Amino acid sequence: MHGSHFPLRERAHESTVKLPRLTANGTQDERVVAEESPVALVYDGTTVAILMATPSDLTDLALGFSLTEGIIEDVGEIEELSVVPGLDGIEVRTWLSPGAGRLLKDRRRRLIGPTGCGLCGIESLAEANRTRRPVERRISLTPEQIRMSIESLGEAQVLNRATRATHAAGLFRPGDHDMILREDVGRHNALDKLAGALASEGISGRTGAVILTSRISVEMVQKAAAIDAGIVIAVSAPTALAIRTAQAAQVTLIGIARGSDFEIFSHPAGVLR
């Protein structure tokens, strides 16, 4: 993949709002809460997916979704992308190159789900169990670097510190102190936003490890593999299907990473001892 060269038009949307609350001791004041909006991903005039998402970094969301769901193989297949607010939600309108547009039309896929549901609405069981091509892992991490990656993720979660209501996905690159990170109320959305941000900057997932605040479900492994990330680390545990998918994709899967403790579920060669 290469850097983004297609026209982008996105207006700023508020990720948080202050709303009244009543505390346990009867005090009434305000609390900062995360915003959540219906976001329609529209390709060549046809709605392909409707997600409930935090209304920020929506171009990243659309670009990442396009890549991780196989709608495009390269950002060059997007000719234009714009964010259009409406009364009922937000449309992200993407116009594809003729070739990519024809392929999408042939697939006739419809994905509709709450809070970034990654599998709702797909048309076959085979699609649910899809395995990406094996990932060529380029890095390995020491136990100390795994600890640092989780620590860095927590420090970078500005939106979650304010709201305590969002997930995050980040790319930890050894030797780089600035983690690339995106946040969203939906865990799938956060990972898609990260994928889009990396593609816009021309950064391959091979250069680091994907770090997640959520449990590791099969679709999270599939999306990480789609951006060629050879290591996935999360604070929670994986599902059995996620582990089998990581094994097939040659992804090192690390879960329950908290402090210096973690568990390796697939391809342990990604961890240096």
Work out the average pLDDT over 241-261. 97
Q: Name the more confident of 252 and 111.
A: 252
215 exposure class (CB count in 10 Å sphere: 0-12, 13-18, 19+): middle
Could you give phi then psi for residue 151, rounded to 5 degrees?
A: -65, -45
167-172 vs 209-212, strand pairing mode: antiparallel
Q: Are 199 and 182 in contact (CB under 8 A)?
A: no
Q: What is the CATH number of domain 8-128?
A: 3.10.20.10
Q: What is the mean pLDDT of residues 228-247?
A: 97
CATH of domain 143-270: 3.40.140.10
Number of C-alpha atoms within 13 angstroms, CB side, residue 37?
23
Q: How far apart are CA 205 and CA 137, in angstroms?
A: 9
Confidence label for 105 from pLDDT (cuts 50, 70 and 90) = confident
Distance between first and last Cα of the chain: 32
Instruction: Give the orientation angle of helix 187-201 with respect to helix 218-226, to 10 degrees.
Output: 0
Predicted local distance difference test score (pLDDT) of residue 177: 82
pLDDT of residue 142: 97
In the set 8, 84, 117, 128, the catalytic residue is: 117
Contact 33/15 with Cβ under 8 angstroms? no
State the DSSP string of 157-207.
-HHHHHHS--EEEEEE-TT--S-EEEEESSHHHHHHHHHHHHHHHT--GGG
Q: For residues 94 and 131, which has the higher predicted lDDT (pLDDT)?
A: 94
Residue boundaries of the structural domains of the chain: 8-128, 143-270
pLDDT tens digits, 34-50: 999 999 999 999 999 99
- Band the pLDDT of 147: cuts 50, 70, 90: very high
% the chain with pLDDT above 90: 82
- Which residues are CB-contacts of 244 (< 8 A; sequence separation ≥ 6)? none
Rounded to two decimals, the pTM is 0.90
Helix (H) or strand (E) holding 251: none
**Calpha distance 234→18 (Å, rounded):** 30
| 117 part of the active site | yes
What is the predicted pLDDT for the residue at 122?
53
> Residue 199 is inside which H or E element, if any?
helix 187-201
Question: For position 27, what pLDDT does the model report?
Answer: 97
Q: What is the pLDDT of residue 111?
A: 43
Contact present, 205 and 190 (Cβ < 8 Å): no
Given a cut of 90, is residue 114 above it in pLDDT?
A: no
pLDDT grade for 273, boundaries at 50, 70 and 90: confident
Q: Is the pLDDT of residue 134 over 80?
A: yes
Amino acid 107: pLDDT: 75
Q: Is 135 helix (H, G, I), strand (E, B) or coil?
A: coil
